[in-house]
């Protein structure tokens, strides 16, 4: 029986207090906060980090047969975004990579597609939700990602919860829509969608539970998510789940994360579920989908293999949010535009550029970043073994703020980092919250965007300060 084999989530560090929107634009905002992507993040970089966290407890991406990326805000159209995730997590060359983009319902669609595959699939649900300044979508939206490895279990990656039932209902009606070139979506009057979606979603959950042969009263964790917030709120009240079974809705603090919302809550349920318990997940968007899982004995062992760490949050101003969302336009730096990345070089160096893989000298053990043919230490030629360093933590050897370099958020902080397993790399620092780190500070590596030029997103690896652990702590404690 297929099921979920592993999972990982990622939320950006930045939070916008909704009352700051109301202070700037009368009638906007509301209570609580929403999550906001940093200036160098997009749904691909989110997806890479969530995917790395998902494959880490099962020993890497070696068993992945296909990758499915779903977003309403893909960095590219025409070009497949899942290929960058494929290369960044060093998935096998034989693994397929597909995008399922555009609609919020694509998220649960990608998950259902992945669950039917004969090989483990990596489903990456990643989104950034926006709206017109001062509007409801802007304040209620959120940014984040979840990645799930699903499919048949194996000895190294047993099924954590098996799929025991599923259901779907579809109806064509106008609820929420957006023209492909528009930034903000439009929606019909709330109550119309609620009248259609609530009975349709109730029927879908009943259908899924019947296919699993269980009653709603036997569901220990119930996730209800979707793009129609009024319908979701109504369903949470009316469905009649047993006391304490409803999985908390994180929207008040992070916002509605679109294609990622259901899986983020599913991950919350799996974080606390016990063997034998039943988890049901109901998604409402352009119809409804429901999945029913039973937790296996393997979940406890998987939790021990996972590295966890609480990411701290960084408050931002509304002006910063508008700048990062390109709703406000900053005076560009008085520097020439950065070079357009050359396709042949990027392809040739992709193991370095995307997977962050250097080389280790077989003779003397020196690590070279980027990889070299000739050892800088002992001079050995073509005696190198690939050395993946993406999961390594490191220490800042030297750091500087470059006020002249092209940056979307000047000044650019650049550091030379000594990685724990060997190797020294010069890279940009990110997620700094306005303070320049010091020499000796601990950092972790993240897949981010350097800049976008000529429509090409130039992805690179950057270092960010480890905030959840004190300097000198080892990587198990430091990783999020
Ligand atoms: Zn050597």
Chain-wide mean pLDDT for the chain? 94
Mean pLDDT calculated for residue range 59-74: 97
Return d(Cα 466, Cα 442) in angstroms, integer: 6
SS3 (DSSP) at 408 = coil
Ligand 1 centroid to Cα of residue 369, in Å, is: 13
Q: How far is the CA of 180 from the centre of ligand 1 (A)?
A: 53
**pLDDT category of residue 404 using cuts at 50, 70 and 90:** confident
With pLDDT > 90 as the criterion, what percentage of the chain qualifies?
Answer: 88
Rounded distance from Cα 377 to ligand 1 centre (Å): 5
pLDDT in tens, 233-256: 999 999 999 999 999 999 999 999
Confidence of residue 309 (pLDDT cuts 50, 70, 90): low
pLDDT level of residue 476 (50, 70, 90 thresholds): very low
Select from 387, 394, 391, 382 the least CA-distant residue to 370: 387
pLDDT of residue 474: 38
Q: What angle do CA 367, 369, 372 make, to 5 degrees?
A: 80
CA of 165 to the centre of ligand 1 (A): 56
pLDDT in tens, 7-30: 999 999 999 999 999 999 998 899
Q: Say how many Å lie between the CA of residue 356 and the centre of ligand 1.
A: 20
Compute φ and ψ for 35, nearest 5 degrees. Answer: -80, 145
CA distance 356 to 391: 9
Distance 363 CA to ligand 1 centre (A): 5
Q: How far is the CA of 390 from the centre of ligand 1 (A)?
A: 21
Share above pLDDT 70 across residues of the chain, in percent, rounded to a whole number: 96
- pLDDT tens digits along 99-141: 999 999 999 999 999 999 999 999 999 999 999 999 999 999 9
User: What confidence category does residue 39 fall into, taking pLDDT thresholds of 50, 70 and 90?
Assistant: very high
374 CA from centroid of ligand 1 (Å): 8
Examine the pLDDT at 288 and tell me if it is beyond 60. Answer: yes
**pLDDT tens digits, 455-473:** 999 999 999 999 864 433 3
Ligand 1 centre distance from Cα of residue 251 (Å): 52
Strand 384-388, strand 278-284: pairing: unpaired
pLDDT for 166: 98
Query: Comparing 161-170, 258-267, 308-317, 409-418, which segment has the lowest mean pLDDT?
Result: 308-317
Of 33 and 476, which is predicted with more confidence? 33
Q: Tokens 């760490």: give the residue.
A: 309
Q: What is the mean pLDDT of residues 52-70?
A: 97
Q: pLDDT of 319-356, one tens digit each?
A: 999 999 999 998 877 777 888 899 999 999 999 999 99
Tell me how far the alpha carbon of residue 359 lies from the centroid of ligand 1, in angstroms.
10
pLDDT of residue 183: 87
* Mean pLDDT value across residues 353-365: 97
DSSP letter assigned to residue 59: T
């Amino acid at each position: 029986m297929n099921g979920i084999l592993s999972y990982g989530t990622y939320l950006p560090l930045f939070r916008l207090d909704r009352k700051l929107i109301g202070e700037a634009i009368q009638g906007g905002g509301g209570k609580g906060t929403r999550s906001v992507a940093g200036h160098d993040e997009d749904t691909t970089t989110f997806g890479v980090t969530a995917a790395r966290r998902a494959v880490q407890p099962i020993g890497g991406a070696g068993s992945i047969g296909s990758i499915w990326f779903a977003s309403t805000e893909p960095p590219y159209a025409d070009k497949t975004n899942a290929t960058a995730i494929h290369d960044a997590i060093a998935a096998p060359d034989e693994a397929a990579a597909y995008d399922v983009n555009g609609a919020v319902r694509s998220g649960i669609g990608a998950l259902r597609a992945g669950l039917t595959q004969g090989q483990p699939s990596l489903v990456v649900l990643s989104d950034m939700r926006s709206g017109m300044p001062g509007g409801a979508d802007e304040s209620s939206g959120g940014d984040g990602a979840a990645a799930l490895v699903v499919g048949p279990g194996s000895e190294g990656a047993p099924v954590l919860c098996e799929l025991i039932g599923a259901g779907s209902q579809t109806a064509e009606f106008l609820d929420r829509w957006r023209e492909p070139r528009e930034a903000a979506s439009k929606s019909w009057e709330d109550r119309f969608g609620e009248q259609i979606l609530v009975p349709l979603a109730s029927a879908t959950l009943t259908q899924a539970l019947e296919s699993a042969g269980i009653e709603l009263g036997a569901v220990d964790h119930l996730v209800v998510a979707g793009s129609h917030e009024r319908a979701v709120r109504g369903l949470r009240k009316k469905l009649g789940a047993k006391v304490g079974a409803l999985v908390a809705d994180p929207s008040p603090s992070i916002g509605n994360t679109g294609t990622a919302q259901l899986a983020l809550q599913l991950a919350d349920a799996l974080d606390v579920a016990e063997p034998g318990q039943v988890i049901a997940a109901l998604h409402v968007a352009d119809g409804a989908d429901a999945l029913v899982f039973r937790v296996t004995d393997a979940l406890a062992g998987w939790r021990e293999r996972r590295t966890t760490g609480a990411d701290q949050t960084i408050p931002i101003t509304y002006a910063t949010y508008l700048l990062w969302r390109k709703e406000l336009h900053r005076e560009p730096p008085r520097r020439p535009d950065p070079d357009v990345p050359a396709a042949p070089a990027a392809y040739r160096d992709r193991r370095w550029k995307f997977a962050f893989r250097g080389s280790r000298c077989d003779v003397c053990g020196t690590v070279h970043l980027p990889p070299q043919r000739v050892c800088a230490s002992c001079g050995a030629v073509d005696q190198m073994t690939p050395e993946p360093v993406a999961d390594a933590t490191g220490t800042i050897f030297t750091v500087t703020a470059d006020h002249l370099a092209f940056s979307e958020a000047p000044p650019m902080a650049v550091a030379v980092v000594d990685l724990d397993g060997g190797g020294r790399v010069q890279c940009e620092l990110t997620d700094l919250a306005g303070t320049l780190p010091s020499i000796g500070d601990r950092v972790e590596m993240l897949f981010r965007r350097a800049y976008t030029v000529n429509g090409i997103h130039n992805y690179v690896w950057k270092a960010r300060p480890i905030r959840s652990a004190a300097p000198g702590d080892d990587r198990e404690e430091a990783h999020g």
